[in-house]
Structure 1
Amino acid sequence: MDGAWYAGWRHLFKLDPDREISDEALDALCMSGTDAIMVGGSSGVTFDNTVELMSRIRRYAVDCVLEVTSLEAAVPGFDYYLVPLVLNADKPEWLIGRQTEAVREFGHLIPWEITAGEGYLILNGEATAAKVSGARTDITEDEALAYVQAADRLMRLPVVYIEYSGAFGDMTLVKRAAQTVSQARIVYGGGIDSPERAVQAASSAHTVVVGNIIYSDLDAAVATVQAVKETNLAL
């Protein structure tokens, strides 16, 4: 991997601006040793709730990255920005339409040096992101890997996020994806609700994202940090 700002990330917590989190819980996450806090969500994300969450995270030294899913939530002041392109979306607007609209309107304001494209491969049909984008999730492993290779080698996207939000995914597929990329970083998210699952994901993907468990079992979420940091990528 190269020396880009996202290259050293092994563990991320993902926080949804539309979900409540106490100051105590946020303190535990930001002081846990995670590499970064990602802010983003598939619905209910607004400028106001994104600004509010960012301002709370900014009290800590941890990197703070915004996953830009709507123009309304394109908030300045984050350390970094990731722009998702849903690779398997049935609706072209989620692959390139919304992104070009944003560039047309705000291109002169975009901090390109801290912004990166993020190829999104959504593989859980029940996930909100899949329903919103019309993602075609009933695909074979070979089809999924073809999306990964196209993102990596044709589109030259620096990050490919394999998303199973709400379910624990196929680690064999995730590992094959990490083995097949030439320059992209494979990020995995979905169903990591224990240190044991965090270890499985960390041995298969370059970066592991922990999200939903934060809101139901904070101790388990925090425990995933050390679990990931102690696990080597096994390719």
Structure 2
Amino acid sequence: MIDMIKQWRHVFKLDPDREISDEALDQVCMSGTDAIIVGGSSGITYDNTVDLMSRVRRYELPCVLEVSDLEAVVPGFDGYLIPMVLNTADSKWMIGQHQQAIERYGYLIPWDLLITEGYIVLHANSTVARLTGADTELSTEAVAAYAQAGERLLNLPIIYIEYSGTFGDMELVGETHRQLERAHLIYGGGVDTAEKARQAAQVSDTVVVGNIVYSNLHQALETVQAVKANKDSV
């Protein structure tokens, strides 16, 4: 799983709770993006997750589920991303829900398809920050330390810097990336133009593009080549 993810430079994240036409989905999946992540922070159900997965499955590109709700875990994805929020004081989002999931469904879990992500949530007004109680008022040094703790103490293969809904501090992202030795750094948040995609690609291993798909598909599609053009910059 991690070897596959390390090949990704650009990924579209699609929300099961938001509508996307067949025509728009076709353009997204045929855009040259490396993969589709299915996930969101609210309104995720088993039914809408199954529906979106079945539509994406018509195309020959990897499709993974980012698990945010135990009731919406659907079999049939190429892999499952398991977030652990590193900058929260609420252990529920670090290990609590994970323990509950294993206690309830451990015998069904395809362990070889699971990859854990160390999330660092940095946009205070985002749904995910409010939901998890993330401490978003962090210095560059503090964020880099969280990332190093995730990589070196917890041995997490992925560090995910999430600005969810706003474009983040690229100097902070770049410095965090430089402090990592093994972990794969994913950036997500506010990538809604080719230029922002280019900037994010210069300081991360994978760029995730999400919300702009639903408001300006043309601009979303332009991010693919902007990221791919920077494939050798990190």
TM-score class, shorter = over 0.9
Equivalent residue, structure 1, for 2:14? 15
Equivalent residue, structure 2, for 1:215? 214
Aligned mates of 1:120, 1:163 — CA distance in 2: 7
DSSP 3-state at the match of 2:185: strand
DSSP 3-state at the match of 2:187: strand
Equivalent residue, structure 1, for 2:196? 197
Equivalent residue, structure 2, for 1:159? 158
DSSP 3-state at the match of 1:161: strand
Aligned pairs for 1:106-125 (under 5 A) are: 106-125=105-124
Aligned mates of 1:118, 1:9 — CA distance in 2: 15
Give unpaired runs (5+ residues) of structure 1.
none
Equivalent residue, structure 2, for 1:54? 53
Contact 1:204 1:233 in 2 (8 A): no
Equivalent residue, structure 1, for 2:81? 82
Deviations 1:8-30 (A, max 9, x none): 01000000111000000100000
Contact 2:140 2:176 in 1 (8 A): no
TM-score where L is the length of structure 1: 0.97
**C-alpha displacement at 1:88, in angstroms?**
0.7
Contact 1:195 1:227 in 2 (8 A): yes
Equivalent residue, structure 1, for 2:173? 174
Aligned mates of 1:170, 1:197 — CA distance in 2: 11
**C-alpha displacement at 1:233, in angstroms?**
4.9
TM-score where L is the length of structure 2: 0.97
Matched, 1:94 2:90: no
Aligned mates of 2:96, 2:34 — CA distance in 1: 31
**C-alpha displacement at 1:232, in angstroms?**
3.5
- The list of structure 1 runs, each at least 4 consecutive aligned residues, that deviate by more than 3 angstroms after superposition, is 232-235
Pick closer, same or farther for the CA change 1:146–1:3 going to 2, 3 Å: closer
Aligned mates of 1:30, 1:187 — CA distance in 2: 20
**C-alpha displacement at 1:7, in angstroms?**
1.0
Aligned mates of 1:17, 1:130 — CA distance in 2: 20
Deviations 1:155-189 (A, max 9, x none): 01011110001110011111111111121100000
Matched, 1:24 2:32: no
Equivalent residue, structure 2, for 1:105? 104
Aligned mates of 2:226, 2:130 — CA distance in 1: 32
Aligned mates of 1:3, 1:57 — CA distance in 2: 21
Aligned mates of 1:71, 1:77 — CA distance in 2: 15
Matched, 1:6 2:14: no
